[in-house]
Structure 1
Amino acid sequence: MLKTIAAGLLGAALSAGAANAAVLWDFQETGGDVVGIFAGSLDLSGAGSAGAGGLPFDLFSASDAAAIQSDSTGSFDTYEFDAAPANFGTDGLTLATSGTGDAFAVLGANSGNEVGVPTGYASGQALAGTLTFANQTFAALGVTPGSYVFSLPNDTITVRFGPTAPVPLPATLPLLLAGFGGLALLRRRRAG
């Protein structure tokens, strides 16, 4: 009985914090460079197709809220955002020193209001890659540090610039720990 209750409490606590699929593109100043690493997956159901597009190079534009990581083909399938930030700051176009991984692009409200994914991408597939800007800083790129959210009908993409904040405890964790403590105390009383 106690095992069943404990398993139920643990399952409830873990499922309470479950998140939907999403992509986080995290840019940090590191070792004199700016490096952006993205990972996640997207649910594109309900998103309007904007066709195909692409660029054969990697770039960034703070004034247009645009970041593009191309692959060897330079092509993307594009989908429309429900909402997108207008910019990440003030500066214009900067070519990346290098990029790796999947083709992926975010184009803000000033530059098309679209997300670019690898040609033939199916919802839920993993996306991952990097963009590196050697010998750059956020200031040189014209970036205003913070988090910027691009919204699709059933998902989000967050582009974050700057130090990451500590992750807060889920609200259910203290309650779960108190419940386990109470169960342990009850078990001790019954045994003794």
Structure 2
Amino acid sequence: MDDNRNEFETEAPPSTGNTRRVEASSVFVLGVVNEIGADHPYYFVKNNVLRLKGYKFPYTESEISRDLDTGNGHSNVNVPLEELSPRVYAAILFYDYKDFDRRLSVQYRSSYLGNVNGSSNNLAFITEETIFDYQASFDITENFDALVSVNNLTDEANRSYYGDRSKTGNIQYFGRNYFVGIDYSF
């Protein structure tokens, strides 16, 4: 496996604590996977309180495929590798202030070939999806943290189809998932 990774980092004067990083890579595994990402944590001190803000924007593109035996004497069909989306975009925004931390993330995943109903012989295309998640935590004391997390804020459905979108396989709604917790460290 070849892994070519280039990382570029720029840094502002130390007084601002502003750092930007951009990373790009190409990985060869029976095809090509291109990744690019940027993250920009930014921190500053105001009224003797450390504040952190920032964002991350990763992107992945894949061209990996394989020949699928269709059986019944028909010729093989070239299909994408199972469970691997040709394109994935994500964005993560975060803001930390005093004892309160917040994160909002969104991930877009393009249509991909996947296993339906847990069978490797039942392949279908899964439609593209965009998922939003939110997380907040609060430091109650030095040892106790409270956490609230909501996954799939927009209640995005998981849909599959066979060959073309008019041949629906499954439509599954997993709903929003809410999590509340307390973390203790010692």
Fold agreement, TM-score > 0.5: no
Structure with higher RCO (Cα < 8 A, 6+ apart): 1
TM-score, structure 2 normalization: 0.20
TM-score, structure 1 normalization: 0.19
